[in-house]
Amino acid sequence: MPKQAFIFPGQGAQFSGMGKNLYEAHASVKALFHRADELLGFSISDTMFNGTDDALKQTNITQPAIFLHSVAAFLTIEGVKPDMVAGHSLGEFSALVANGVLRFEDALNLVSIRAKAMQKACELNPSTMAAVLNLSDKQVEDICNQVQLETGEVVVPANYNCPGQLVISGSLNAIELACVRMKEAGAKRALVLPVGGAFHSPLMASAKEELAAAIESTLFNQPICAVYQNSVARAVTDPLEIKANLIDQLTGAVRWTQSVQQMVADGATQFTEYGPGKVLQGLVGKIAGTGVQVSGVN
């Protein structure tokens, strides 16, 4: 039987004016935004609607903003329930609201703690990320391992976005050397990204510790459907396992390619992205091909 998969984007999908159309069209969304302003202690809605690109790029703003936009988009759809959910990195928190594991207020609190902890970890360890195009997963993994052995510094695959599109994460020196090696191996591109830290790598260990304490003290409910989590790329329904995987996600890779492949294998035929942008719609198309329908609500 055909199944509906709801998917939620991560950091990088933000833009000035995000969510304003939903805010103006739905009383429930307006109430949600006002609740978020109150909980966060500042007007995130004002920053989302009127903020500069630079303001929206700050991790402590970006993450709650994308989360809020995604949940708002999901709430505008009535009478349709997902058969499965997944989120890319930060998007996993939105997915856990959609499948009933987390209350909106608790998820927003965790997202805010996560963003601030990641910002601090970035300041502790000067580090970055790079996009690698047109190499196989194994080639990227092998080069990262080789550079780590040579330098004694961190460089790891961080995002398996779709076949031939990976993001690596690590120290400035190791990333630079890895990019040279990737190009030598035939990468179409190995480009350092304008980010301030090595997300989804061991360099996020301090942030992981802080987030783990907050997650452990938060109530996780029984879900209405499975979440396909980044760190394990398979269906998970046990709240304790969901907690553990959400903690591991901060220092582990986002296995998006593998998650989508598993969702399709488990019967997903319709993928709907909720939130800003269309990045995940494009990735699902590249991963799953023409056998699935892809749409978005933003």
Q: Is 153 left (phi over 0), alpha (psi -120 to 50) or beta?
A: beta
Is 89 catalytic? The answer is yes
Q: What is the 3-state secondary structure (H, E, C) of 64-80?
A: HHHHHHHHHHHHCCCCC
Task: Convert 177-196 to b/e letters by CB count within 10 Å (16 or more is b).
Answer: bbbebbeebebeebbeeebb
How many Cα atoms occupy the beta-carbon half-sphere of 177 within 13 Å?
Answer: 19
| Contact between residue 203 and residue 154 where contact means Cβ atoms under 8 Å apart | yes
Q: 117: how many CB neighbours lie within 10 A of its CB? A: 23
- Structural contact between residues 254 and 89, judged by C-beta atoms closer than 8 angstroms: yes
Give exposure, 254-277, as e/b (b: 16+ Cβ within 10 Å): bbbbbbbbbbbeeebbebbbbbbb
181, 95 contact by CB (below 8 A): no
Cα atoms in the Cβ-side hemisphere of radius 13 Å centred on 286: 15
Tell me the C-alpha distance between 67 and 54, whole Å: 18
Among 89, 94, 201, 231, the active-site one is 89
Cα 123 from chain centroid?
A: 21
Give CA–CA dist 21/44, Å, rounded. 15
Residue that has been written with the tokens 């396909």 in this structure: 228
Q: Which of 88, 200, 201, 259 is catalytic?
A: 200
What are the residue numbers of the active site? 89, 200
